[in-house]
Amino acid sequence: MRNSIFPVVTVLGFALALFSVSFLVPLVYAFITGEPTVEAFSTGFLTTFLVGLAAHLLTRRFKRELQPRDGFLLVSAVWSLIPAFCAIPLVLYFDNLSFTDAYFEMVSGLTTTGATVLTGLDTMPASINIWRHLLSWIGGMGILVLAVAILPLLGVGGSQVFKAETPGPMKDSKLTPRITETAKSLYLVYFALSVGCAISYKLAGMTWLDAFMHAGTTMSLSGFSSHDASYAYFDSAAIEMVAVVFMLISGINFAIHFMAWRGKSFRPYSMCPETKWFLILMFVSVFFVTVFLLAHQQYTTFSEAFRFSLFNVVSVATTTGFANTDYAQWPMFAPLTMIFLSIFATAAGSTGGGIKMLRAVILFQHAVGELSRVLHPRAVNPVRIRGAAVSAQVIFGVLAFMLMYGMSIISITMIQMFTGLEPIAALTGTIAMINCLGPALGELGPSSNYASLGDFQTWVYSFAMLLGRLEMFTILVLFTPAFWRK
């Protein structure tokens, strides 16, 4: 048992101690501005650091190279436990906020879902909002991708951790020869784009504080806002356009951004099938919803319909969840179409959720090939991505993922309906949680939040967010007997 668990615990303890540094950002801000959250964040920092340090020191003699199963266990443990420590400041500061709701809020931030149980965002201490947005930014690329650069210091290779954490069906490709350099390269691009997004928001009219917070939740496609009305608070077409541009950027594989930057060329974008289909899908969907809204007289001019269609379609399709109007009041076909897009629109290697465009492309090509074989049994039509044939192992993996994805949505929806949640809220809420989207429809729509859920419903959706963020198998493999056998 020690040989299987303790090596994971020692790295987990180090990760917790390392992560505790992030508490200092809202803590320092609260201290400088005199906000009443200093004690709450101090307690959170000390608790996280001391627990992590103790876990690391007590088990470090069991340190060894991580095996594949260790990577899955470590990723699941980190993503499940860190929100519990992150919830400490919220529980201590808010008298009427339960640990269940605080944990949900922090899972929502870390998984970049952006669903919230909090109200009065405009009037609460800025340090609380900074904490929510910072957690989303950290979660955007995956805290363990960053930790890959630290693991060699412990004598523990990071390859298995990176593979378990990285979204998408083809996990073995590397941007650079060493996995550590890959993680650093991705974060360099992520950080640079985040700074550019914040500056753009400031130039468009936001305050510096709002600009930095919303840059974090735009680049991570989280959707958290420091205002209850989300982007309707700003009522600015310029701010919305900045958001649209950077949401589209974040919906593209960050490896493509890195290759374009390294090669000083836009050629990687044109060579990537995901990027092409993602941008085409966004253009067609925005135009279609614009025409639909005009036809149903939701808006009187094309420019007005285009503005609200562009922002909300891109926001929902990229699993961000910002809103500049209550789109749940549109004819039901439009918001349902937007939620459907969130299932597959974003690229593998982006900060978005859902099944990813690459899986959709593979499945579509495979289906076309199977239809061809019905007419021509001897025909050979391999699935090709970037000119290379996709192996049968990858195709079978995608099919298995889709099966688990569909089963998860059906199972969680039925559980939530059994507990009394209305059907449209249960279905769209489940899709929103697993896709890391945030707002759903019905009582969970963009004009409301998830505070109305009962404790059991909240825990189910917390699990659904983790399930979707870690792409099913990373968590579900822990429930198989074979995982725990020697």
Q: What are 181-232's pLDDT values in tens digits?
A: 777 888 889 999 999 999 999 999 999 999 999 999 999 999 999 999 999 9
Encode pLDDT of 87-121 as tens digits: 999 999 999 999 999 999 999 999 999 999 999 99
Q: How many CB atoms lie within 10 A of CB 301?
A: 9
Position 85: which residue type? F
As a whole number of angstroms, the distance between CA 321 and CA 221 comes to 8
Residue 316 has what pLDDT?
A: 96
Residue 368 has what pLDDT?
A: 86
Q: Provide DSSP, 342-379.
A: TTT-SPTTSS--SS-HHHHHHHHHHHHHHHHHHH-TT-
- Is the Cβ–Cβ distance between 220 and 187 less than 8 Å? no
Residue 160 has what pLDDT?
A: 53
Structure tokens at 160: 């298995």
CB-based contacts of 259: which residues, under 8 Å, 6+ apart?
175, 268
Residues linked to residue 388 through DSSP beta bridges, in sequence order: 385
As a whole number of angstroms, the distance between CA 264 and CA 309 comes to 33
Encode pLDDT of 231-282 as tens digits: 999 999 999 999 999 999 999 988 889 889 888 888 888 888 889 899 999 9
Helices 208-219 & 126-141 angle (0-180, nearest 10): 30
Report the b/e string of 78-98 with b at 16+ CB within 10 A.
bbbbbbebbbbbbbbbeeebe
Compare 372 and 338 and report the one with higher pLDDT: 338
Q: Which of 69-78, 410-419, 464-473 has the lowest mean pLDDT?
A: 69-78
- Mean per-residue pLDDT over the chain, rounded: 88
Instruction: Identify which of 8-17, 53-62, 126-135, 149-158 has the greatest average pLDDT.
Output: 126-135
As a whole number of angstroms, the distance between CA 108 and CA 10 comes to 26
- Is the Cβ–Cβ distance between 72 and 47 less than 8 Å? no
Structure tokens at 357: 């465009």
- Is the Cβ–Cβ distance between 92 and 98 less than 8 Å? no
Encode pLDDT of 432-455 as tens digits: 999 999 999 999 999 889 999 999
Instruction: State the residue for tokens 């659904």.
Output: 464
Residue 318 has what pLDDT?
A: 95
For 322, the 3-state DSSP assignment is coil
Residues linked to residue 384 through DSSP beta bridges, in sequence order: 389
Confidence of residue 148 (pLDDT cuts 50, 70, 90): low
As a whole number of angstroms, the distance between CA 29 and CA 258 comes to 32
Q: What is the pTM of this model?
A: 0.91
Position 143: which residue type? I
Q: How many CB atoms lie within 10 A of CB 366?
A: 18
pLDDT of 151 higher than 70: no
- Phi/psi of residue 422, each to 5°? -60, 150
Residue 72 has what pLDDT?
A: 82
The C-alpha torsion from 310 through 312 and 315 to 318, rounded to 10°, is: -80
Q: How many CB atoms lie within 10 A of CB 482?
A: 7
Ramachandran category for residue 35: left, alpha or beta (phi over 0 → left; psi -120 to 50 → alpha)? beta
The C-alpha torsion from 369 through 274 and 358 to 292, rounded to 10°, is: -90
> Within the chain, what is the greatest distance between any pair of CA atoms?
75
Residue 231 has what pLDDT?
A: 95
- Is the Cβ–Cβ distance between 16 and 52 less than 8 Å? yes
